[in-house]
Structure 1
Amino acid sequence: MIKMIASDLDGTIVSTTGKISPRTREAFLAAREAGIHIVFVTGRPYRWLTPIVDAFGGLGTVICSNGAVLYDLESDQVLWSQTIDAATAVQAQQIILRHEPKATFAAETTKGLHLGSGFAETGRTLGSLAELDLHSPELDAEGIVKFLARSPQMKVESFFSTVFPEISRLLWVTHSATGVSLLEMAHMDIHKAHTLADYAARLNIKPAEIMAFGDMPNDIEMLQFVGHGYAMASGHRETLEATSLIAPPFAEDGVAQVIEKLLR
């Protein structure tokens, strides 16, 4: 019996315009009405949950920043976070710059986004911003939940494979962005599956009782952890190779189709 549905957002149920389709919205609401616990699991910071709020209002708990933050939409507060210290981010930065001297950096904290020079595209709005200074006590006070590195010239797969052997000794590293070479790093003990496992255990829900959906490499651990992990047919090659269950593509409301079949 499925007792929980865990879903990624971007590319899984949220479009590039930041919208959730009416069919997908209705499928999740029907699942909740049937007594299934709903949890959204995203790489987004908790400040960027507008698609969820627009579609569902204050619908429960969201696992944000690839598992580094547990956020309660109903009470509008961070329940828990796992951070890294600035000194570790400095070490990671030094490793990356040896392999990619043109890399730029940013740090997502529990309070906002700190941008390094050249990281953001000109004119792009990214929310609450501050200048990145990895030697500032402010970063440790706020707590880094995600450290980001962007390459202007390497493809993301090459960027990842080049720095992974060294970075993985310090931090968990993944990638999930489409059309940009961006690495996402967090505490060694953090990824989506880790926090989902802890959250489900609090509710006495076993992995075999969870259905999950995702489309990018940062979803792989989650899809492999649960008993019913669906990669989107429109998703990243690595994600599709990591699980035997495939949902129809995003453009066809693939998650909604699977949920509708479950409820029937």
Structure 2
Amino acid sequence: MRLIASDIDGTILGHDGKISTRTVEAFAAAAEAGIDIVFVTGRPPRWLDPIREQIGHTGTVICSNGAVTYDLAADKVVDSHVLSWDVVDQVRSIVAGLAPKPYFALESLTGLHVEDGFYGNRTSAFGAGIVPAALTPDMADGGIVKMLAVLHAGNADEFLDLVSPSLNTLLAVTHSAPDLALLEMGPLGVNKAVTLAQYAAARGFDAADVVAFGDMPNDIEMLGWAGAGYAMASGHPQAIAAAALQAPRFEDDGVARVIESRLAALRLA
């Protein structure tokens, strides 16, 4: 174990926005032992406060499902992959033709843009202060790194199965929504595993050196690529099926338990 790559939401971070003390201490012990740590998330750079404030991470975070590599210490984007407006426009038309009343949002390097109706009856702390507006081509000037589509009925698995066969030559489609029909769509050929592999190679690590943790379909490629890919026992069935290994449930500090065990094994080696 030379590199730990961990998802955030549902893996180490709860709905209450908290990371357990045991998990914070496990990451601190790994860093102290000289293990490189990178967080790999669907979140955009501006939603990384829990990692910065609770774990004290100041290194790299792979954001937006691999579309953005962000340096927390410098507060800057190191690398990015973006969607063209032409792809966005095609995808909107295809999804609208397949699904009843979809609503869309665009995550760019400069902010989140949502159309009226996207949140439905829900409120979102992430959307606080954002005024819904029509999605327009000029938004591509900010560098679109993720496109979101939501239905206010059904679930994400059903939505993904419905539209992905018609979209998978245009962009990458996945989801990380446990209780909402929300899809996350990014640049074709880009996912968490692709960008993590680049990060690892730049530091002289290969897949066998990497221990990865995740819980949702957007983690599947990463869990399959890592030499030791752990799906959370509390995670999505597809993530569990894709991973060779399983960590205890999030509620049982599963990531911390695995890190503690592996650090103990290193000390005995």
Q: Please tell me the residue identity of whatever aligns with 1:71.
A: Y
Match of 1:254 in 2: 254
Give the C-alpha shift of residue 189 in structure 1: 1.8
Give the C-alpha shift of residue 62 in structure 1: 0.3
Give the C-alpha shift of residue 43 in structure 1: 0.3
Once the two structures are overlaid, the 10-residue window that deviates more, 200-209 or 115-124, is 115-124
Match of 2:267 in 1: none
Taking a change above 3 Å as real, the CA distance of residues 158 and 103 of structure 1, as seen in their structure-2 partners, is same
Residues 92-103 of structure 1 correspond to what in structure 2 (within 5 A)? 92-103=91-102
Structure 1 gaps, min length 5: none
Provide the TM-score with structure 1 as the length reference: 0.96
1:197 matched to 2:197? The reply is yes
Match of 2:65 in 1: 66
Taking a change above 3 Å as real, the CA distance of residues 145 and 253 of structure 1, as seen in their structure-2 partners, is same
Give the C-alpha shift of residue 224 in structure 1: 0.3
Match of 2:5 in 1: 6
Taking a change above 3 Å as real, the CA distance of residues 202 and 128 of structure 1, as seen in their structure-2 partners, is farther
1:52 matched to 2:51? The reply is yes
Q: Please tell me the residue identity of whatever aligns with 1:203.
A: R
Match of 1:33 in 2: 32
Distance in 1 between residues matched to 2:64 and 2:130, nearest whole Å: 16
Give the C-alpha shift of residue 26 in structure 1: 0.5
Give the C-alpha shift of residue 57 in structure 1: 2.7
Distance in 1 between residues matched to 2:201 and 2:123, nearest whole Å: 43
Per-residue CA deviations over 1:183-233 (Å, capped at 9, x if unaligned) read 000001210001000111100101000000000000000000010000000
Residues 73-222 of structure 1 correspond to what in structure 2 (within 5 A)? 73-120=72-119, 121-125=121-125, 126-127=127-128, 129=130, 131-137=132-138, 139-222=139-222
Provide the TM-score with structure 2 as the length reference: 0.94
State whether residues 212 and 229 of structure 1, in contact with CA within 8 Å, keep that contact through their aligned partners in structure 2. yes
State whether residues 216 and 236 of structure 2, in contact with CA within 8 Å, keep that contact through their aligned partners in structure 1. yes
Distance in 2 between residues matched to 1:244 and 1:29, nearest whole Å: 26
SS in 2 for 1:53: helix
Aligned residues: 262
Structure 2 gaps, min length 5: 265-269
Q: Please tell me the residue identity of whatever aligns with 2:183.
A: L
Distance in 2 between residues matched to 1:29 and 1:114, nearest whole Å: 36
State whether residues 213 and 255 of structure 1, in contact with CA within 8 Å, keep that contact through their aligned partners in structure 2. yes
Taking a change above 3 Å as real, the CA distance of residues 215 and 55 of structure 1, as seen in their structure-2 partners, is same
Give the C-alpha shift of residue 87 in structure 1: 1.5
Match of 1:19 in 2: 18
- Please, what is the CA RMSD of the aligned residues? 1.3
Taking a change above 3 Å as real, the CA distance of residues 169 and 230 of structure 1, as seen in their structure-2 partners, is same
Taking a change above 3 Å as real, the CA distance of residues 157 and 122 of structure 1, as seen in their structure-2 partners, is closer
Match of 2:241 in 1: 241
Once the two structures are overlaid, the 10-residue window that deviates more, 99-108 or 230-239, is 99-108
SS in 1 for 2:149: strand
State whether residues 114 and 135 of structure 2, in contact with CA within 8 Å, keep that contact through their aligned partners in structure 1. no
State whether residues 61 and 72 of structure 2, in contact with CA within 8 Å, keep that contact through their aligned partners in structure 1. yes
SS in 2 for 1:44: coil
Q: Among the aligned pairs, what percent are the same residue?
A: 49
Per-residue CA deviations over 1:165-184 (Å, capped at 9, x if unaligned) read 11111010001012111000
Distance in 2 between residues matched to 1:199 and 1:13, nearest whole Å: 21
SS in 1 for 2:204: coil
Taking a change above 3 Å as real, the CA distance of residues 262 and 190 of structure 1, as seen in their structure-2 partners, is same
State whether residues 27 and 55 of structure 2, in contact with CA within 8 Å, keep that contact through their aligned partners in structure 1. no
Distance in 1 between residues matched to 2:131 and 2:155, nearest whole Å: 27
